[in-house]
Structure 1
Amino acid sequence: MAIVYILLNLILFLIYWPMITIITIRILLKRRPVTSTLTWLLIIYIIPLLGAIAYIAFGELYLGKKRIMKAKSVWPSTVIWLKKIKCYKYIFCKDNSNVARPLFKLCEKRQGISGIKGNKIQLLTNYQEALTNIIQDINSANYNIEMVFYIWQEGGLVDKVTEALINAANRGIKCRIMIDSAGSWAFFHSRQPEKMRKAGIELIESLKVNFFRFFLRRMDLRQHRKIIIIDNHISYVGSMNMVDPRFFKQNAGVGQWIDIVVRMEGPVSTILGVIYAFDWEMETGQLILPTHPNSKIIQFEQTKGNTTQIIASGPGFPEELIQQSLITAIFSARNKLILTTPYFVPSDTLMYAICTAAMRGVEVLIVIPNKNNFFLVRWASRAFYSQLLESGVKIYQFNDGLLHTKSLSVDGELSLLGSVNLDMRSLWLNFEITVVIDDKNFGNDLIFVQYDYISRSIPLTQKTWNKRPLWNRIIERICYFFSPFL
C-alpha cells in the first residue's frame, strides 16, 4: 500500500503538476477575454485531470499541423485570384450609404476586397420556398454545383434536392458537397452518401470526428457554413441547414425551426466560390478555384443591383473579423437596430456595444426563441437579460417554434444575414459565413420579416423579469459560468 501511495505521489510530481503548470502558463499567455481566462483556470484546478483534458481538447484553436500547413499553402492562390478579379473595376462599389460605409471599409481593409455591386438578391422566408428554388436552380445548372452544410438530413423536400443533384451529376454537371462530420453524424451513417457518390457526386465529410484525433486538433471545431453555388453565378446563403423542418428534431420539444435564406445572382456568387475553394482545398488538397472571371460571369446589373460584401470567418481567415463587423454595424446605428438569433451568449465587447446603442437613444430590439435545443445556452443567455433591459433594450421571446434566423438590421438600410450565432463558438471558433447588404429596399424586406417574428413573440418587461424565482437566477448564474465555451 505504501508503494502505491509513493507511486501516486511520484506521478503527481513528475507528470500531473508539470502539465497543470504548463497549461496555466498557456492560459495566461493567450490573448482572450478575462472571463474566459478565469473560467479555464477555475476548471483545471477545481476538476483535477478532467479539467486539464478538457483544456487540451477544447481550450485552444488548434487545427493540427497538417491543416495549418494546408492553410498557409492554400491562401496564396486565393490572393492571386482575388487580385485578378480586381481588374474588373466596374463590379466594385466606390461608395456606400452612411450607415454601411464604416463596415464596408473595415471589410475592404481586412479582406482585401471592396463591396460588390450589380447583384440581384431575393429573400426567401420559409423552407418550402427556399428548397423549391434550390431544386429549380439545380435542374437548370450548366457547369457546376457546390454546397457546404453543417447538417444534412434526409426526408421531405431534402430527398427531392438529393434526387435533383443525382440527376445533375448523371447529365455531366460537376457536383461537390462538403458536410460537417459531427453535425451530420446520422447522415453519414445512412445509405445516402453511398448513393450520392455512386452517381458521381464528390461528397466530403468535413472535419471528421475521430477519437484518435482527440489530441491532434480541437474536436469541437465545426464547418458551420451554409452555402450553395451554381455555375459561379447563382448562390444561396442563410441560416437554413439542408433539412426539411417537418422531419427535423421533432422530439426536441421546441417546434419547427424557422430560417431565412438569400438567393443571389451576380458577381458576389463568384466571390463565394473563392471561399468554397479555400475550404475544399483545406479538406481534400484539390485546387478548384472558379474559372477566371469574365464578363459573362460577373456582369449583371452594373447600376441597379444590390451592393454586397461577404465575410468569411474561421481558422485561416482574418481573426476576429466577424465580431469587429458586428460591433462596427451596431455602432453605426442611429435610429433602429433589430437582431434575431437562436443562441445569445455574446462576448463582453459585443454586449457592451448593444447596451451602449440602446443608451444613446437607438431603438434596440432582440428576438430570441423562448425555448431552444441547448439547455446550457438557454439558461446562460438569460443571465444577460437584466443588463439588456436596464439599458433599454427590448427583448422578445419567440413562441412559434425555434427561431433559427441569424440576422441584424441597422436603420433599415444595412443588413447582415448568414450562419453566425451571437455566441462564443460562432464569434471565435467555427467556419462561418455572413452576407452584408447595403440596400434600403432589401433592408425594408428584412425588417418586415423581423417584425413578423416579433408579432409571434412575447415581450419581456423588466418588471416581469425581476419577479422570476430565485432558483431561476441560480441556474442562470451557474450556466453563465460556462458562457466562454458555448
Structure 2
Amino acid sequence: MELNLTQALTALYVTIDVALRLAAIVVVPYNRRPASAIAWLLIIMIQPVAGWIIFGLLGNNRLPAGRRKKMAAIQELIGESTLDIDDAAALPGRPPWLPGVVELNRRLSSMPHIGPASAVVWGEFDAQLEAMARRIDEAERFVHVEFYLLVASERTEQFFAALERATARGIVVRVLVDHLTSVRYPRRKETVERLEAMGAELRDMLPLRPWRGQWQRPDLRNHRKLVVIDGAVGFTGSLNLIDPSYLWRRNIRRGLQWRDSWIEISGPPVVALDALFWSDWWAETNELVELASETGAPDGDLNASVIPSGPGFEGEINLRVFLELVHAAERRITIVSPYFVPDEAMRYAITSAAMRGIEIELFASEIGDQFWTYHAQRSYYEELLRAGVRITLFAKPTVLHSKFMTFDEHVSIIGSSNIDMRSFGLNFEVSMLIEGASMVAQLQGMADAYRQQSTQLTLDAWMARPRVAQAFDSIARLTSALQ
C-alpha cells in the first residue's frame, strides 16, 4: 500500500513537472525578446515550481487594465491637443537626418518638436537645488514635482524650504513620488509629514498595496524626474532629490557620492513636460484638468521634444529614438550612462557605428552601486573596446549617475533613461530630444570635465583583470535579459 502511494505521488510529481516545463515553452516566448525568453526558460527548467512563481511575479510588464485604459485616454488627449501644433522650423546646422527622428517620436508619443527654447545644464548638486529653489520662488500659479526618489534632509533643505514658501503664498504644489522606492529609503515618514504640513498635494506613483487592491509587477517603477513651474520653466535629467550619499550607511561607509546632470529649460517644450506630469497625476488621482498653455514670449536658440516612455507606451519609444540617433550620426557620439546594459539592437548599433568610423566615447563609473548590474555592464566592455569605442571610467568613490548623449554637433538627449533594458521596457522614463549647438556644447563641456576626473580603459588592461571578476561579469550578463 505504501509502495503504491509512493508510486502515485512520484507519477503525479513527474506529470506536474513535465506539464510546467511544456507550458513554459508555449507561454514564456509569447511577445518576448528571444534572449529574455531563453533566460526565463532556463530558470523554469532548472526549478519549474520556483521558476513559475518568480515568472508570475516578474515576468509580465503589462500594467493593470485600469491604468492602461487611463494611459490610452491621456495619450489620446495629448494627441488631440498637439494635432494642430507644427514642428519648429529647422535651426541653422540641422542635420538632414533629424526630421526623421522627430517624426518617429511624434508618431509614437504625439509630442511635437517645438521652440524656441533656452536651456542651461547644472552639474553640481547644490547648484541644481539652488536653480530649482530660485524658480520656485518666482512661481505664480503652480509647482509640479515628480521624482523617483524624494527625501527631505539637510542637503535637500533649500528645495523643501522653497516649496514651503510657495504654499505659504497660495501656490498650488503637487508632488508625485515612486511609492516602492520611497518606502525603501530613510526618512520616508519625515518627508511625507513635511510635505503634508506645508499643504502640498502628495501622491504615490505605482503604489504597491495588495491589501488595497493596488498591485502590478513589483519592479515596474516610475523613474521620471521633473519639475515644472507655471508651465513656463521646467527641469529634468538624472537627479534624485536626496542627499548625494543616498543616506544608506553602507554608501556613507564607502564614501559614495552620486553626480548628476540636470537641465533647466524655458519655452514651449515645458508645456509638453507638464503634459507628461498631468498624465501621471491623473493615473494616480483621477483628476483630469485642461493642459497648460504656453506662457510668456519664448526666446532661445533651441528646439526640443519630450520623449516619454514606459510600459504604458507602445513600441519602447526611447529605445527606438536612441537607435535612430546612433544609426544616423555621422561624426561623433558621446554616451554618459551609469547603467549601460544594452539590448542586442543597441549593442550592434553602437559597435557598428564605431566600426564605420564614428568617434564614440562611453562614460561610466569605475565603481558600481548595484552588484549584478555593474558586472553585467562590464561584460560588454571587451566587445566595445575591440570595435573602437573609447571607454572612460569616472574615478571612485563617485558614482557618475548622469544620463545624456550627444550626436555630432547639433543634437542631444538628456533625461532619466539609462541604456539598459529596464529603462527601455520596465521603467516610466522621460528624456528630451534637443536640437541646437549650444546644448551640445554645454554637454560636451560637462563630459570634458568628467574626463579630467577619469581614466581611459584599454583593452590590454581590461583583459588582464582577475579571473574571478570575469566570471562574475559573465554570470551577470545572463541576468540582464530578464524582463
Shorter-chain TM-score tier: over 0.9
1:232 aligned onto 2:228: no
Give the number of aligned pairs: 476
SS at match of 2:228: strand
**Which residue number corresponds to residue 347 of structure 1?**
343
> Compared with structure 1, are the counterparts of its residues 21 and 67 closer, same or farther at alpha carbon in structure 2 (3 Å cutoff)?
farther
> Compared with structure 1, are the counterparts of its residues 212 and 347 closer, same or farther at alpha carbon in structure 2 (3 Å cutoff)?
farther
Which amino acid is the alignment partner of residue 358 of structure 1? A
Distance 1:356 1:469 in 2: 29
Q: TM-score, normalised by structure 1?
A: 0.92
> Which of 377, 384, 404 matches 2:401?
404
> Compared with structure 1, are the counterparts of its residues 41 and 442 closer, same or farther at alpha carbon in structure 2 (3 Å cutoff)?
same
Which amino acid is the alignment partner of residue 56 of structure 1? G
**Which residue number corresponds to residue 196 of structure 1?**
195
> Compared with structure 1, are the counterparts of its residues 18 and 388 closer, same or farther at alpha carbon in structure 2 (3 Å cutoff)?
same
Contact 1:425–1:485 under 8 Å retained in 2: no
Which residues in structure 2 correspond to 1:133-144 (within 5 Å)?
A: 133-144=131-142
**Which residue number corresponds to residue 146 of structure 2?**
148
**Which residue number corresponds to residue 474 of structure 1?**
471
SS at match of 2:181: coil
> Which of 288, 291, 303 matches 1:307?
303
> Compared with structure 1, are the counterparts of its residues 24 and 81 closer, same or farther at alpha carbon in structure 2 (3 Å cutoff)?
same
1:58 aligned onto 2:58: yes
Contact 1:412–1:447 under 8 Å retained in 2: no
**Which residue number corresponds to residue 414 of structure 1?**
411
Contact 2:335–2:406 under 8 Å retained in 1: yes
Which amino acid is the alignment partner of residue 370 of structure 2? F
Which residues in structure 2 correspond to 1:23-422 (within 5 Å)?
A: 23-30=24-31, 32-83=32-83, 86-87=84-85, 89=86, 92-93=88-89, 96-98=94-96, 100-185=98-183, 186=185, 189-210=188-209, 216-245=215-244, 248-249=247-248, 251-252=250-251, 253=254, 255-291=256-292, 293=293, 297=295, 299-301=297-299, 304-400=300-396, 401-422=398-419
Instruction: Measure how far apart 1:161 and its partner are.
Output: 1.4
Which amino acid is the alignment partner of residue 259 of structure 1? D
Which residues in structure 2 correspond to 1:423-434 (within 5 Å)?
A: 423-434=420-431
Distance 2:420 2:240 in 1: 18
Distance 2:418 2:12 in 1: 43
Q: Percent identity?
A: 26
Instruction: Measure how far apart 1:483 and its partner are.
Output: 1.0
Which amino acid is the alignment partner of residue 449 of structure 2? D
1:440 aligned onto 2:437: yes
Distance 1:117 1:2 in 2: 80
Instruction: Measure how far apart 1:408 and its partner are.
Output: 0.7
Which amino acid is the alignment partner of residue 146 of structure 1? H
Instruction: Measure how far apart 1:7 and its partner are.
Output: 7.5
Q: TM-score, normalised by structure 2?
A: 0.92
Distance 2:246 2:381 in 1: 32
Instruction: Measure how far apart 1:170 and its partner are.
Output: 2.4
Distance 2:263 2:249 in 1: 25
Distance 2:213 2:386 in 1: 43
Instruction: Measure how far apart 1:209 and its partner are.
Output: 2.6
Distance 2:166 2:155 in 1: 17
Contact 1:267–1:298 under 8 Å retained in 2: no
Contact 1:267–1:299 under 8 Å retained in 2: no
Contact 2:186–2:247 under 8 Å retained in 1: no
Structure 2 residue runs without a partner (length 5+): none
Deviations 1:362-382 (A, max 9, x none): 111111101111000111111
Instruction: Measure how far apart 1:118 and its partner are.
Output: 1.0
> Compared with structure 1, are the counterparts of its residues 434 and 181 closer, same or farther at alpha carbon in structure 2 (3 Å cutoff)?
same
Instruction: Measure how far apart 1:111 and its partner are.
Output: 2.5
Instruction: Measure how far apart 1:80 and its partner are.
Output: 2.5
Contact 1:156–1:246 under 8 Å retained in 2: no
Contact 2:245–2:256 under 8 Å retained in 1: no
Contact 1:416–1:435 under 8 Å retained in 2: yes
Contact 1:99–1:414 under 8 Å retained in 2: no
Which amino acid is the alignment partner of residue 228 of structure 1? V
Cα-Cα RMSD: 2.4
